[in-house]
Amino acid sequence: MKDSGRTAEISIGGENYSFPILSGTTGPDVIDVRKLYASTGFFTFDPGFTSTASCESSITYIDGEAGMLQYRGYPIEELAEHSHFLEVCFLLLYGDLPSASQLEDFMSRVTNHTMVHEQMRNFFNGFRRDAHPMAIITGVMGAMSAFYHDSIDINDPVQREIASIRMIAKVPTIVAMAYKYSVGQPFCYPRNDLDYTSNFLRMCFEVPAEAYPENKALSRAMDRIFILHADHEQNASTSTVRLAGSSGANPFACIAAGIACLWGPSHGGANQACLEMLLEIGTTDRISEFIKRAKDPDDPFRLMGFGHRVYKNFDPRAKVMKESADEVLSVVDSGRKPTLQIAKELERIALEDEYFVSRRLYPNVDFYSGVILDALGFPTAMFTPIFALSRTVGWISQWKEMIAEPMQKIGRPRQLFVGPVERRYLPLHQR
Ligand code: CMC
């Protein structure tokens, strides 16, 4: 960050205070209020962090007005078209696209860590078969710190690196094991002759009785979903990871905290809700009925997969998802072509409707992703775990960035206290 040379003036009770305005490389400037309390005795009040930058970061940039998302300066559309997930992982972690030898080395390091400690298999048996896979993944990711003692010293950059590689390599294995456990099938070990994404699909869908044939088109669609979800700057789960990490907690515990936060329906769960809505609509002639409900202020129903806190334009991820949905349904007959038709028609009608236009409500990443995941063969309970798998690299990159930051401090928000002021303890018989 650099000092812009400008200041923000605040006047409180006749006293004037001046605060520096700092600039990043792009995006809104910030008023540096770090000395506000010391100089004025006031806090700022911003629940939901709608106007607060909690850190500086050089990883991901979003311009919600323009509908723009960039990882390390590269537009998401270009990465989705030309790159692949492990290359994007390298970019997010280290800041630049890799050379051929760097990529080969990185892929080999990830590939050689895909197996989980054999004793971790016993962990899964402790869960009920009907446990939500997110519950299992949260527990197993946190438990990694009990298995990999040699990579939990956060002050050692080598250990931080090993922990990062381990998590990126093992999260597909863990997510696939959670899925296998829920459907009562044997776990499937990773195969290192396959690429990252094909290996994940195989670990989910192969059974001892029948091999899962590799399908390049489906692997590519899965890989794009991984790329599109890999990072999204300081969202709720990423901020959770940073806050947990700011206390010095080990990296496995921090990522487990991020997974727990992602589980909430306002964050990682909307893709499931969107597919369920499209299935409920059922036929294109019922779309107007649902649009009418979404516009009715007395009806809590909202068009799932529409609208975003940051994007006030097309979510650029939704455009790529739409193309991918077309590609996947041309390869797989999931019986969902009518569902995709409904989604497209719903999008067309909503984007011509004054209600959605005036509120700048556009399709978001979740609008088409459920149709694709369903076509790939995943039940809805697996949609959020797949989001967690993809986002692991983003969480790790943000965590590493924070730990390496010299001015890093424990995260400790303040509050506006509205509870009772001091009162005297009364013995039980006097209350
Ligand atoms: N359908 C109908 N009306 C909507 C919708 C919608 N999907 N989204 C917002 N509105 C209306 C809302 O009723 C309000 O209208 P009014 O001004 O008349 O009261 C106006 O638009 C502004 O809404 P808001 O709730 O203030 O906007 P927000 O920024 O707080 O909410 C949101 C963002 C994503 C929670 C919301 O758009 C929503 O609930 N969308 C549906 C759920 C969804 O698809 N969530 C996934 C988000 S993308 C995931 C990710 O990036 O991690």
- Identify the residue whose C-alpha is closest to ligand 1 atom 28: 309
Is any atom of ligand 1 closer than 6 Å to the C-beta of 312?
no
Distance in angstroms (rounded) separating the CA atoms of residues 350 and 278? 14
**Contact of 161 with 93, CB cutoff 8 Å:** no
Evaluate whether 240 touches 227 at the Cβ level (below 8 Å): no
Phi-psi group of 408: left, alpha or beta (phi > 0 → left; psi -120 to 50 → alpha; rest → beta) = beta
Q: Are strands 2-12 and 60-63 parallel, antiparallel or unpaired?
A: unpaired
Nearest C-alpha neighbor of 4 from the set 35, 31, 44: 31
Instruction: Output the residue whose Cα is nearest ligand 1's atom 27.
Output: 309
Q: What is the Cα Rg of the chain in Å? A: 24
141, 116 Cβ separation under 8 angstroms: no
Protein residue with least CA distance to atom 36, ligand 1: 307
User: Mind telling me the catalytic residues?
Assistant: 308, 366
Question: Parallel, antiparallel, or unpaired for β 15-23 and 2-12?
Answer: antiparallel
Atom number in ligand 1 closest to CA 235 = 52
- Distance between CA atoms of residues 371 and 416, nearest Å: 44
CB of 19 sitting under 6 A from ligand 1: no
Evaluate: CB of 275 within 6 angstroms of ligand 1: no
Task: Please tell me the distance between residue 312's alpha carbon and the centre of ligand 1 in angstroms.
Answer: 10
Three-class SS state of 302: coil
Ligand 1 atom closest to the Cα of residue 267 is 52
What are the pLDDT tens digits along the chain (431 aa)?
A: 788 889 999 999 999 999 999 999 999 999 999 999 999 999 999 999 999 999 999 999 999 999 999 999 999 999 999 999 999 999 999 999 999 999 999 999 999 999 999 999 998 999 999 999 999 999 999 999 999 988 899 999 999 999 999 999 999 999 999 999 999 999 999 999 999 999 999 999 999 999 999 999 999 999 999 999 999 999 999 999 999 999 999 999 999 999 999 998 778 888 888 999 999 999 999 999 999 999 999 999 999 999 988 899 889 999 999 999 888 988 887 777 788 889 999 999 999 999 999 999 999 988 999 889 999 999 999 999 999 999 999 999 999 999 998 888 999 999 999 999 999 999 999 99
Atom number in ligand 1 closest to CA 359: 21
What b/e sequence results for 316-346 when a residue is b if at least 16 CB atoms lie within 10 Å of its CB, and e otherwise? Answer: bbbbbbbebbebbbeebebebeebbebbbeb
Give phi and psi for 53, each to the nearest 5. -90, 120
Q: Does the CB atom of residue 269 touch ligand 1 within 6 A? A: no
Q: Is the CB of 306 under 6 A from ligand 1?
A: yes
Return the structure tokens found at 281: 């609509």
- Angle, alpha carbons 374-294-364 (nearest 5°): 45
Q: How far apart are CA 376 and CA 392, in angstroms?
A: 21
Q: Supply 28's token pair.
A: 């809104």
User: 228 CB less than 6 Å from ligand 1?
Assistant: no
SS3 (DSSP) at 51: coil
| CA atoms within a 13 Å half-sphere pointing along the CA-CB vector of 116 | 27
